[in-house]
Protein backbone atom coordinates (compact mmCIF):
# COMPACT_ATOMS: atom_id res chain seq x y z
CA UNK A 1 0.00 0.00 0.00
CA UNK A 2 2.87 2.36 0.83
CA UNK A 3 4.27 1.87 -2.66
CA UNK A 4 1.17 3.38 -4.25
CA UNK A 5 1.77 6.76 -2.62
CA UNK A 6 5.18 7.36 -4.16
CA UNK A 7 4.01 7.48 -7.78
CA UNK A 8 0.83 9.24 -6.71
CA UNK A 9 2.81 12.05 -5.10
CA UNK A 10 4.93 12.30 -8.21
CA UNK A 11 1.81 12.39 -10.35
CA UNK A 12 0.35 15.22 -8.30
CA UNK A 13 3.62 17.15 -8.54
CA UNK A 14 3.91 16.64 -12.29
CA UNK A 15 0.30 17.64 -12.90
CA UNK A 16 0.82 20.74 -10.83
CA UNK A 17 3.96 21.65 -12.78
CA UNK A 18 2.19 21.16 -16.09
CA UNK A 19 -0.77 23.32 -15.09
CA UNK A 20 1.49 26.12 -13.81
CA UNK A 21 3.18 26.50 -17.22
CA UNK A 22 0.16 28.24 -18.66
CA UNK A 23 -0.84 30.30 -15.66
CA UNK A 24 2.43 31.59 -14.26
CA UNK A 25 3.37 35.11 -15.39
CA UNK A 26 6.94 35.19 -16.78
CA UNK A 27 8.12 38.31 -14.96
CA UNK A 28 11.72 38.24 -16.20
CA UNK A 29 10.69 37.80 -19.83
CA UNK A 30 8.11 40.56 -19.45
CA UNK A 31 10.79 42.93 -18.16
CA UNK A 32 13.02 42.16 -21.13
CA UNK A 33 10.10 42.68 -23.51
CA UNK A 34 9.25 45.98 -21.83
CA UNK A 35 12.87 47.17 -22.08
CA UNK A 36 12.93 46.35 -25.78
CA UNK A 37 9.73 48.27 -26.49
CA UNK A 38 10.73 51.24 -24.31
CA UNK A 39 14.07 51.48 -26.14
CA UNK A 40 12.23 51.62 -29.44
CA UNK A 41 9.67 54.18 -28.29
CA UNK A 42 12.23 56.42 -26.53
CA UNK A 43 14.90 55.91 -29.17
CA UNK A 44 18.38 57.30 -28.52
CA UNK A 45 19.97 59.87 -30.84
CA UNK A 46 21.64 57.29 -33.08
CA UNK A 47 18.29 55.76 -33.91
CA UNK A 48 16.72 59.18 -34.33
CA UNK A 49 19.13 59.86 -37.16
CA UNK A 50 18.35 56.53 -38.79
CA UNK A 51 14.59 56.88 -38.47
CA UNK A 52 14.06 59.92 -40.78
CA UNK A 53 16.19 58.25 -43.47
CA UNK A 54 13.94 55.20 -43.38
CA UNK A 55 10.90 57.45 -43.66
CA UNK A 56 12.37 59.33 -46.62
CA UNK A 57 12.99 56.13 -48.53
CA UNK A 58 9.49 54.94 -47.69
CA UNK A 59 7.88 58.10 -49.04
CA UNK A 60 10.21 58.09 -52.05
CA UNK A 61 9.10 54.66 -53.22
CA UNK A 62 5.40 55.43 -53.78
CA UNK A 63 6.33 58.67 -55.59
CA UNK A 64 8.46 56.88 -58.17
CA UNK A 65 5.76 54.26 -58.59
CA UNK A 66 3.20 56.95 -59.28
CA UNK A 67 5.45 58.52 -61.88
CA UNK A 68 5.90 55.20 -63.57
CA UNK A 69 2.15 54.66 -63.58
CA UNK A 70 1.58 57.97 -65.33
Partner 1 sequence: MKHLTKFWFVLFALCVSAAALAEADIKVSSPGITALKQSMHARHVQLRPYLDSGAVGLTADGMFALRDAGKVPLAQRQEVNAMVAAENQDRSALYAEISNANGHPEWQAEIRSTFAQRWIEHAHPGWWVQSGGAWKQK
Give the CA angle between residues 29, 32, 38 to the nearest 5°.
140
What are the residues binding partner 1 (CB under 8 A)? 3, 6-7, 10-11, 13-14, 17-18, 20-22, 24-43, 51
Q: How far is the CB of 36 from partner 1 (least distance, A)?
A: 6
Pick the closer one to partner 1 by CB: 14 or 60.
Answer: 14
Are 43 and 51 in contact by the 8 Å Cβ rule? The answer is yes
Pick the closer one to partner 1 by CB: 1 or 41.
Answer: 41
Amino acid sequence: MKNVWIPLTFAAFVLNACVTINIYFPAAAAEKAADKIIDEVWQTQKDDKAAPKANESRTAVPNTKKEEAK
